Chains A and B, each alone.
Chain A
Amino acid sequence: MRRPVYQSLLIYVGLVAVTLFFIGPIYWFWALSLRSPTSAFAQPPEFFFQPTLAAFKYTFVDPGVNATQLKSSLIVGLGGTLLNLPFSMTAAYALSRFRMRAKAGLMMWYISLLMAPPIVFLIPYFILMSRLKLRGTYASMIILSLTITIPLSIWLLKSFFDDVPVDIEEAAQVDGASFLQAMRHITLPLSLPGIIVTSMFAFVFTWNNTVFPLVLSNQRTSTLPIGTLNYFATTGVTWNYIAATAVVTMIPPMIVFLVLGRYIVRGLTFGAVKG
């Protein structure tokens, strides 16, 4: 089917407008991180300016106020992802492979945890972690992030395990492999890409989380999102520093999504839509 020229033209105009609307604000903030303080609030806004790396130098190199927060973000993100895997992999495997009477109920329970307001957990844990002298530790943030990473990973991993045909596993068992051997040598290797995709999503969800570190971190352990907020709390907001810190916060999730490509739909819908 060939489309009339004017129709193609309209589609292109639409797509360009849409892209500008959604990418414009990101570009504008990246630009802010490269501006001098005088250019940041120029009236009218300056579309062309002399870029400078001063804000990145201040925030991450010298004196590097936010460099430790980058480290904290990585520790909490990787910790929350890795610690979740033993729990979610076993559960997802069982939910994918066995007939269980409580399966629907369990799956609904997991997803309802994902949709619960995280703020509800916060005040009790603020007090508990203070009393246990755990407030300000990475452990407190990593443990609480499990309330997100475990249900997310169970849903996602189950969808990936579902994709590996049971027949292959059964064939191996007929050939004398035990159930555990079949799982270790067949299902796990075949679903390795799924496990990696799931881990990447769990990492992004933990990385982007602000609510838990907001009250559980201290100056030494605060993560990047808290770093941006800290600039905001002080008087005389330094927007260039906020932007530089925010740009560094944005980059890892963006890379993950570029790499994930066709798995984005599945990840964002917790495996409910396969895409």
Chain B
Amino acid sequence: MGSRKIPRKFMPYLWVLPSIIVLAGLIVYPLFFSLTNSFRLWNLATSPNPLGFVGLGNYRQVFQTTPFTDALRNTLLLAFIGTFIEFWFGVGIALLLNSHVKGNALVRALLIMPTTIAPIVAGFLFRYMYYERGGLITWLLTTVHFPVPIQGLLGSATTALASVALADIWQWTPFFAIVLYAGLLSIPEDVIEAAIVDGASGVRMFIWITLPSISRTAIIVIMIRFMQLFNMFDLVLVLTRGGPGTASRTLSFNLYQAGLVDYNIGVAAAMTWLIVIIVTILINAYARVAFRNWEW
């Protein structure tokens, strides 16, 4: 090795430094940009450059001129209910797979396919099936006499958000199923046999053996999925554009609308910081739990 020696203690940091510089550079700029412009009056439609200092005016505007609280409510609904349904549906499928009947490998290979496709494409799949006239889902629902709204499933305020959620549930339930199935495989045989010998019932075995042994895996995947749902954008863009009204508007879509449709950079910048604060709190709170006792 070369004659100049870097103290061993610092060498690892030299190796991670390039990645930190690139990533920090890429995220510091937008955060700084948003912070400074959140206090300025700036609409791209009227001026190519920021105009005057408006104090906290943009932050007030976020609540007064954009449906921020509606979007926050929709986002939280989607994230909590979506994660909940996907997780338990996934647990059910994982248990089915764990019966190891013939054809299991084929089912698993097919099952993961929805998760592989781009969310925007998943959106198109469902937009086509939701079509008011001739869409497969609309037709199926009508056949079983489900009261489909005349404006269509995506056009009605009562069903729009649920329809967006269904597309996401379709795409990501397999993710839970496949990952939790891998968790089930790691339960040692003798633990299961001992429980059977002790006469444990199916339900008791599920609560006392199955659930605890997949809990570590579950916490990680729930965290990942919750945040992905919280950031929901692509599906909304294709399916409803946040409508009708604000019925399916999410935080990400609200930000997109303010900044890149209405070109109100000042208000978008203020909203960016509000979202960054919410997301930081969520991630930190969860990561603390998920990675407790984690071996790095």
User: Which residues of A are interface residues toward B (Cβ below 8 A)?
Assistant: 3, 8, 11-12, 14-15, 18-19, 21-23, 25-26, 28-29, 32, 40-45, 86-88, 90-91, 93-95, 97-100, 102-104, 106-108, 110-113, 115-128, 143-144, 146-147, 150-151, 154, 178-180, 204, 207-211, 215, 225, 228-229, 232, 239, 242-243, 246, 249-250, 253-254, 256-258, 261, 264-265, 268-270, 272-273, 275
User: Which residues of B are interface residues toward A (Cβ below 8 A)?
Assistant: 1, 11-16, 18-20, 22-23, 26-27, 29-30, 33-34, 93, 96-97, 99, 101, 103-104, 107, 109-121, 124-126, 128-129, 131, 133-136, 139, 170, 173-175, 178-179, 182-183, 217, 220-221, 223-224, 227-228, 230-231, 233-234, 237-238, 251-252, 255-256, 259-260, 265, 268-269, 272, 275-276, 279-280, 283-284, 287, 291, 294, 296
Q: Which residue of A lies closest to B143 (CB)?
A: A44
Check B26–A143 contact: CB distance below 8 A. Answer: yes
14 pairs from A and B in contact (CB 8 Å cutoff): A22-B110, A22-B114, A87-B22, A94-B14, A117-B233, A120-B30, A120-B255, A120-B272, A127-B33, A146-B26, A150-B23, A180-B1, A207-B118, A253-B117
Check A25–B129 contact: CB distance below 8 A. Answer: yes
Check B19–A88 contact: CB distance below 8 A. Answer: yes
Check B217–A273 contact: CB distance below 8 A. Answer: yes
Cα of A18 to Cα of B197 in the assembled complex, Å: 32
Cα of A108 to Cα of B283 in the assembled complex, Å: 9
Check A147–B26 contact: CB distance below 8 A. Answer: yes
Cα of A203 to Cα of B291 in the assembled complex, Å: 27
Given contacts A151-B23, A246-B121, contact A103 B179 (CB under 8 A): no
Point out the residues of chain A lying under 8 angstroms from B183, CB to CB: 273
Cα of A122 to Cα of B287 in the assembled complex, Å: 25
Min distance, Cβ A77 to any Cβ of chain B, angstroms:
11
Cα of A268 to Cα of B23 in the assembled complex, Å: 21
Check B99–A28 contact: CB distance below 8 A. Answer: no
Check B23–A119 contact: CB distance below 8 A. Answer: no
Check A228–B30 contact: CB distance below 8 A. Answer: no
Check B259–A123 contact: CB distance below 8 A. Answer: yes
Q: Which residue of B lies closest to A229 (CB)?
A: B120
A contact face: mostly helix, strand, loop, or mixed = helix
Contact of A90 among B1, B19, B109, B134 (CB under 8 A): B19
Given contacts A87-B22, A225-B121, contact A257 B116 (CB under 8 A): yes
Min distance, Cβ A81 to any Cβ of chain B, angstroms:
15
Cα of A250 to Cα of B267 in the assembled complex, Å: 36
Contact of A124 among B29, B126, B129, B230 (CB under 8 A): B29
Check A19–B233 contact: CB distance below 8 A. Answer: no
Check B26–A258 contact: CB distance below 8 A. Answer: no
Check A41–B133 contact: CB distance below 8 A. Answer: yes
Min distance, Cβ B169 to any Cβ of chain A, angstroms:
10
Given contacts A123-B265, A254-B116, contact A25 B170 (CB under 8 A): yes
Check A94–B224 contact: CB distance below 8 A. Answer: no
Check B252–A119 contact: CB distance below 8 A. Answer: yes
Q: Which residue of B lies closest to A232 (CB)?
A: B238
Given contacts A113-B23, A117-B275, A147-B26, contact A256 B139 (CB under 8 A): no
